Amino acid sequence: MAEEQGAGGDQLTNGEDNLPQVGVLSQYVKDLSFENPNAPSSYQWQNQPQIGVDFNIGAARLNDDLHEVSLKIEVRATTDGQTAFAVELLYAGLIGMRNVPEDQVQPFLLAEAPRILFPFARQIISQTVQDGGFPPLMLDPIDFHALYLQRQDQAAAEGGAGAATSGEIGQA
Please work out, in degrees rounded to the nearest 5, the angle formed at the alpha carbon of residue 58 by the alpha carbons of 54 and 64: 165
pLDDT of 167 strictly over 70: no
pLDDT of the residue at 89: 98
Question: pLDDT category, 158, cuts 50, 70, 90?
Answer: confident
pLDDT of the residue at 169: 42
Domains detected in the chain: 19-135 (3.10.420.10)
Alpha helices, DSSP H, located in 44-110: 102-107
pLDDT of the residue at 20: 86
- The DSSP 8-state label assigned to residue 115 in this structure reads H
- Taking the C-alpha atoms of residue 128 and residue 138, their distance in angstroms, rounded to an integer, is 11
Question: pLDDT category, 11, cuts 50, 70, 90?
Answer: low
- The DSSP 8-state label assigned to residue 72 in this structure reads E
Q: How many helices (H) and strands (E) does the chain have?
A: 3, 7
pTM, two decimals, is: 0.79
> Which residues are CB-contacts of 155 (< 8 A; sequence separation ≥ 6)?
161, 162
Angle, helices 113-131/144-158, rounded to nearest 10 degrees: 120
- Taking the C-alpha atoms of residue 161 and residue 19, their distance in angstroms, rounded to an integer, is 27
Query: How buried is 8 (Cβ within 10 angstroms: 0-12 exposed, 13-18 middle, 19+ buried)?
Result: exposed
